[in-house]
């Protein structure tokens, strides 16, 4: 290095952090919009290369898969509501920088609690009581699954990412065990029990779910933005030391937040099992616990933006499913497209946070 | 009993490759949750290369090439996914957890697509991978337990041992650990943090890609199953279980393999009880995680694990 010191070496490009608020909101929107467009373009080119079809047709097929018929729109809304519900559930924890990647397991175990209640108590109590017990069981199960890692994190600083990840598989295996023990015919497939499900509003099977999640979105927004607890979560997330200095009990906040988070996962489990499937399998949650993390993070933990980001993910998922049926290609194309778009959006955050500065001309400097 | 051990070791080597790859990555401070996706891609690339090779040459198969081509393809496929991960996390400073999860989504999708395009049966290719030394069968239990394996078992052992050596006994390893423990200090000492993170992640992902291929070609004897990602999550668990030490991982991987296959070998376990048995590796990992966090400062994860490094943000 000593030799090159004499010659001033400036890199061609260098990176500078942007000041907070130096970008206007429409500039931010523009960058994200460009990222999504670029990603759609790449995905379109990819599908065209793989299938040899006109990309316009491919996009058309995607749109029709999402908005093509009232049934498809309802399916899209239901998918949106479920993903949004899980995303809302993980948000308080993430805002606190508690990397809970165990939503998958938390939702699944609540679903298991819900289905067990339906199965064993369904014919033993009146509907209203049953619904209350189902709700209580699901919420409680979600809370237990979430608070275990939180307690260890709070007291012994145990790595929560890995702890919650492992809890997912414990939940999956418990469901597998349950299905083998209690499904009498040995098929491992539990017959749906719609008679014990949540009430159906106005003949639309998914309406209740959608309304409940809409309500939850507003509640979480208010909780995080305007309540004292929400403020404490934000402070702990920004700096634990600051939080301790101003007299916030960090341990208490961590445990309390994860109880809230787990309770919302419990609600998601209730809606998925009690309100939608009326049965359970090991894949009931279907990766939503992981996708929700990306949805929440992309929305910068703002519940209102989360409606948009989860719409984006659901649009891609349903659209790509339609593409795969229309053009007879492997259904895995849906995962590929979702992955590509997520990576593009993750990458574009860089341009919102940092500026790339070109090396200035020597003469200008002198 | 012997069959049980052999089966545990064969599966264990998949875990060993995956976790050695993840250990190298984590030592640089990258928590790569994309490993399940990377292993899927590695497996799919290897299998696809084998398929292409067999279609291209017809019946004049050269055994050495039938092994080397898929190995290189898996290594390359995994490394490319690692490159994507590092580009996003190092150059674009994206969040590692989110990027990793997106890589897993992408990787699982890509591997399924590749496999649906080719075939799900690779038994013909698998024969070359599971071929063992000709005299191994004549040596009784000793031969069966120690010598009667395909190329992957020895490859995994060599990689794990040499990784331990490089990490603990060489300058490169010292620098790598410094980058993972305290990137700012490493930077001040003149170590190129970005370069170390890029290389460590790509090499680690390449090795994990080999792990994916070994699961299909060795443990499953060439029959593709859509569950490579589940194995990948266990490989990440194994990294914690063995407290970031590849030499411990040799034993740890066999323990994991044994726990995973135990339910099929223990007599008297009911059909349903097997599902509880499969829970064991995860519970054991949680226990190890809790115990290591409660105990002294030894055996902790790299201090900068999961944190991005930007020089101007100190």
- pLDDT recorded at residue A4: 44
Band (pLDDT 50/70/90 cuts) for residue B298 is: low
Average pLDDT value for residue range A270-279: 88
E runs forming strands in chain A: 13-17, 354-358
Residues ≥6 apart with Cβ < 8 Å to B284: B241, B259
The predicted complex's ipTM stands at: 0.81
Instruction: Provide the pLDDT for residue B136.
Output: 63
What is residue B21's predicted lDDT score, i.e. its pLDDT? Answer: 94
Q: Hey, what are A27's tokens?
A: 């500039």
Asked if B290 lies within 8 A of A354 by C-beta distance, the reply is: no
Report how far residue B81's alpha carbon sits from residue B110's, in angstroms, rounded to the nearest whole number. 11
Q: Note the pLDDT of residue A216.
A: 94
Quote the percentage of chain B above a pLDDT of 90.
35
Q: Is A2's pLDDT higher than 60?
A: no
The pLDDT, as a whole number, for residue A97 is: 87
Is residue B72 predicted with pLDDT exceeding 90? Answer: yes
pLDDT at B278: 81
Residue A115, classified by CB atoms within 10 Å of its CB into exposed (0-12), middle (13-18) or buried (19+), is buried
Angle at CA of residue B203, ends B200 and B205, nearest 5°: 105
Q: Is the pLDDT of residue A234 over 50?
A: yes
At A362, the pLDDT band (50, 70, 90 cuts) reads low
Tell whether B32 lies on the interface with A, counting CB pairs under 8 A: no
Q: What's the whole-number average pLDDT of chain A?
A: 84
**Structural domain boundaries in chain B:** 2-313
Minimum distance, in Å, between the CA of residue A178 and any CA atom of chain B: 8
CATH number for domain B2-313, candidates 1.20.120, 3.90.1310, 1.10.3470, 1.10.760: 1.10.3470
**Alpha-carbon radius of gyration of chain B:** 20
- pLDDT tens across A168-226, in order? 989 999 998 888 888 877 677 788 888 777 777 777 778 888 999 999 999 999 999 99
What distance in Å separates the CA atoms of residue B37 and residue B108, rounded to the nearest whole number?
5
Distance from CA of A295 to the nearest CA of B (A): 10
Tell if the CB–CB gap between A342 and B102 is shorter than 8 Å.
yes
Answer whether B109 sits within 8 Å of A333, measured CB to CB.
yes
Q: How close are the terminal C-alpha atoms of chain B, in Å? A: 56
Contact list in B for residue A290 (CB cut-off 8 A) is: 101, 104-105
CA angle A103, A108, A111 (to 5 degrees): 130
- Whether the model pTM is above 0.80: yes
Listed range (A336-345, B6-15, B31-40, B96-105) with the worst mean pLDDT: A336-345
Q: Does the structure show a pLDDT above 80 at A55?
A: no
Average pLDDT for B277-287: 85
**Model pLDDT, residue A20:** 64
Query: Residue A8: pLDDT above 80?
Result: no
The separation between CA A122 and the C-alpha centre of its own chain, rounded to angstroms, equals 31
Per-residue pLDDT tens digits for B82-114: 999 999 999 888 888 889 988 998 999 899 888
Sequence-distant (6+) residues with CB within 8 A of A137 are: A110, A113, A114, A116, A117
CA distances from A324 to A336, B103, B104, B186 (A): 12, 21, 20, 49
pLDDT in tens, A308-357: 889 988 988 888 888 888 887 777 877 888 888 888 888 888 887 777 77
For A283-316, what is each residue's pLDDT tens digit? 888 888 888 988 898 888 899 989 988 998 898 8
Instruction: Check if B296 contacts A (Cβ < 8 Å).
Output: no
Nearest-neighbour CA in chain B from A171: distance (Å): 9
Residue B176 CB partners (closer than 8 Å, separation 6+) = B24, B27, B28, B167, B196, B200
pLDDT band at B71 (very low <50, low <70, confident <90, very high): very high
Quote the pLDDT of residue A7.
Answer: 52
* CB of A232 closer than 8 Å to CB of A243: yes
A137-146, B27-36, B143-152, B300-309: range with lowest mean pLDDT:
B143-152
Residue of A158, A161, A353 lying closest to B293 (CB–CB): A158
Query: Does A363 have pLDDT greater than 60?
Result: no
Which residues from chain A sit within 8 angstroms of residue B99, using beta carbons? Answer: 343, 346
A343–B106: do the CB atoms touch at under 8 Å? yes
Q: Is B21 on the interface with A (CB under 8 A)?
A: no
The CA distance from B241 to the nearest CA of chain A, in Å, is 11
| Cβ–Cβ contact B282 with A under 8 A | yes
List the one residue out of A292, A252, A249, A251 whose CA is nearest residue A269.
A292
């Amino acid at each position: 290095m000593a030799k090159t010191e004499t010659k001033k070496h400036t890199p061609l490009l260098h990176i500078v952090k942007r000041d907070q608020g130096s970008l206007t909101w429409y500039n931010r929107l523009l960058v994200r919009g460009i990222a999504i467009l670029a990603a759609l373009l790449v995905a379109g080119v990819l599908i065209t290369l793989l299938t040899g079809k006109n990309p316009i047709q491919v996009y058309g097929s995607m749109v029709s898969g999402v908005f093509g018929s009232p049934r498809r729109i309802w399916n899209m809304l239901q998918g949106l509501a479920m993903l949004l519900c899980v995303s809302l559930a993980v948000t308080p924890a993430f805002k606190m920088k508690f990397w809970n990647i165990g939503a998958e397991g938390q939702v699944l175990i609540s679903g298991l609690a819900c289905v067990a209640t339906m199965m064993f108590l369904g014919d033993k109590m009146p509907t209203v009581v049953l619904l209350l017990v189902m709700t209580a069981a699901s919420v409680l199960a979600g809370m237990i699954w979430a608070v275990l890692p939180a307690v260890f994190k709070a007291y012994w600083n145990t790595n929560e990412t890995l702890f919650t990840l492992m809890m997912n598989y414990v939940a999956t295996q418990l469901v597998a065990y349950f299905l083998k023990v209690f499904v009498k015919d040995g098929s491992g497939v539990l017959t749906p029990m719609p008679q014990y499900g949540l009430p159906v509003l106005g003949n639309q099977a998914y309406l209740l779910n959608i309304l409940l999640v809409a309500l939850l979105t507003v509640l979480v927004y208010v909780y995080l933005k305007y309540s004292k607890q929400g403020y404490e979560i934000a402070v702990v997330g920004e700096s634990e030391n600051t939080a301790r200095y101003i007299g916030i009990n960090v341990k208490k906040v961590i445990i309390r937040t994860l109880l809230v988070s787990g309770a919302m996962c419990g609600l998601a489990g209730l809606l998925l099992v009690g309100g939608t499937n009326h049965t359970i399998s090991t894949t009931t949650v279907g990766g939503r616990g992981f996708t929700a993390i990306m949805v929440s993070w992309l929305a910068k933990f703002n519940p209102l933006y989360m409606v948009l980001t989860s719409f984006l993910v659901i649009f891609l998922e349903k659209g790509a499913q339609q593409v795969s049926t229309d053009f007879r290609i492997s259904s895995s194309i849906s995962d590929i497209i979702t992955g590509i778009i997520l990576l593009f959006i993750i990458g574009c955050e860089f341009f919102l946070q940092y500026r790339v500065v070109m090396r200035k001309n020597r003469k200008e400097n002198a | 009993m012997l069959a049980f051990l052999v089966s545990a070791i064969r599966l264990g080597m998949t875990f060993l490759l995956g976790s050695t790859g993840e250990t190298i990555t984590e030592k640089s401070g990258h928590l790569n949750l994309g490993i399940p996706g990377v292993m899927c891609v590695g497996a799919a690339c290897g299998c696809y290369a084998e398929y292409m090779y067999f279609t291209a040459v017809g019946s004049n198969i050269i055994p050495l090439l039938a092994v080397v081509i898929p190995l290189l393809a898996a290594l390359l496929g995994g490394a490319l996914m690692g490159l994507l991960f590092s580009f996003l996390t190092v150059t674009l400073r994206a969040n590692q957890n989110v990027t990793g999860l997106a890589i897993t989504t992408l990787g699982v999708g890509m591997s399924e697509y590749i496999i649906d395009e080719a075939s799900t049966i690779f038994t013909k290719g698998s024969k070359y991978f599971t071929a063992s030394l000709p005299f191994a069968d004549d040596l009784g239990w000793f031969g069966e337990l120690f010598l009667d394996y395909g190329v992957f078992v020895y490859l995994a052992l060599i990689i794990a041992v040499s990784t331990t050596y490089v990490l603990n006994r060489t300058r490169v390893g010292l620098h790598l650990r410094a980058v993972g423990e305290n990137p700012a200090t490493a930077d001040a000492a003149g170590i190129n943090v970005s370069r170390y993170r890029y290389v460590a992640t790509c090499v680690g992902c390449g090795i994990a890609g080999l792990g994916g291929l070994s699961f299909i070609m060795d443990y499953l004897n060439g029959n593709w199953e859509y569950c490579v990602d589940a194995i990948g999550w266990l490989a990440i668990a194994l990294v914690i279980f063995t407290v970031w030490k590849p030499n411990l991982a040799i034993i740890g991987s066999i323990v994991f393999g044994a726990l995973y296959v135990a339910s099929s070998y223990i007599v008297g376990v009911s059909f349903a009880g097997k599902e509880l048995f499969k829970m064991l590796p995860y519970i054991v990992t949680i226990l190890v995680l809790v115990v290591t966090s409660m105990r002294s400062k030894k055996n902790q994860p790299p201090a900068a694990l999961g944190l991005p490094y930007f020089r101007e943000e100190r």
